[in-house]
């Protein structure tokens, strides 16, 4: 990190406590990271697990897959949504993903379609998402809470 980058973070650290408890916490964590005698990475200073990014990407992928059925078959039985989602993921994997994977955001033609969700899922999954009906059924039935805990969702297997 350059001296100007460090100076900018140090200025930010002095202002963060104005944001209350969370700001004070962030300021303290950044001070740990900036300590010239410290040996902490930013992830360690913030208390993030070594695999936090992988967990965040998995959550993003799963959330996109859970939202996709509303664009394919809103209100349909879970089994029908799973069937259509499995078909859509296999089709997207074989074709459109290969043309879309170079984009950072969903291409405009995908806007408002199931492919919007599939783009996010494939991007977060580094080109790999569950495509089997059994795995998708399990995924659509399970809801991850904000804390990362897993809870059984409200959907039934109609």
On whether both 79 and 132 belong to a single domain, the answer is yes
Mean pLDDT rounded to a whole number for the chain: 83
Give the pLDDT of residue 75. Answer: 87
Same domain, 80 and 14: no
Report d(CA 73, CA 21) in Å as an integer: 44
Whether 128 maps to a domain, the answer reads yes
Q: Where do the H-state alpha helices sit in 73-149?
A: 78-94, 96-100, 114-124, 133-141
157, part of any domain: no
Same-domain pairing of 96 and 114 = yes
pTM of the model: 0.69
On whether residue 61 sits in a domain, the answer given is yes
Residues 6-22 pLDDT 10s: 999 999 999 999 999 99
- Confidence band of 95 (pLDDT split at 50, 70, 90): confident
Rounded Cα gap, residues 44 and 64, in angstroms: 29
Residue 98 is part of which domain span?
Answer: 53-152
Q: Which residue has the higher pLDDT, 50 or 17?
A: 17
Query: Measured on CA atoms in the order 54, 58, 59, 61, is the torsion positive or negative?
Result: positive
- Number of folded domains that form the chain: 2
Regarding whether 61 and 12 lie in a shared domain, the answer is no
């Amino acid at each position: 990190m350059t001296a100007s980058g460090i100076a900018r973070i140090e200025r930010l650290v002095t202002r963060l406590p104005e944001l209350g408890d969370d700001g004070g916490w962030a300021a303290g964590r950044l001070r740990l990271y900036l300590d010239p005698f410290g040996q902490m990475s930013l992830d360690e200073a913030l208390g993030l697990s070594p695999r936090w990014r992988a967990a965040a990407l998995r959550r993003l992928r799963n959330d996109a897959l859970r939202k996709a059925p509303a664009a394919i078959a809103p209100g349909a039985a879970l089994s029908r949504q799973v069937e259509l989602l499995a078909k859509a993921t296999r089709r997207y994997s074989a074709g459109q993903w290969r043309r879309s994977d170079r984009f950072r955001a969903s291409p405009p033609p995908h806007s408002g379609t199931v492919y919007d969700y599939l783009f996010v899922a494939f991007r977060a999954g580094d080109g790999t998402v569950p495509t089997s009906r059994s795995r998708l059924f399990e995924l659509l039935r399970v809801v991850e809470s904000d804390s990362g805990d897993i809870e059984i969702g409200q959907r039934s297997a109609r």
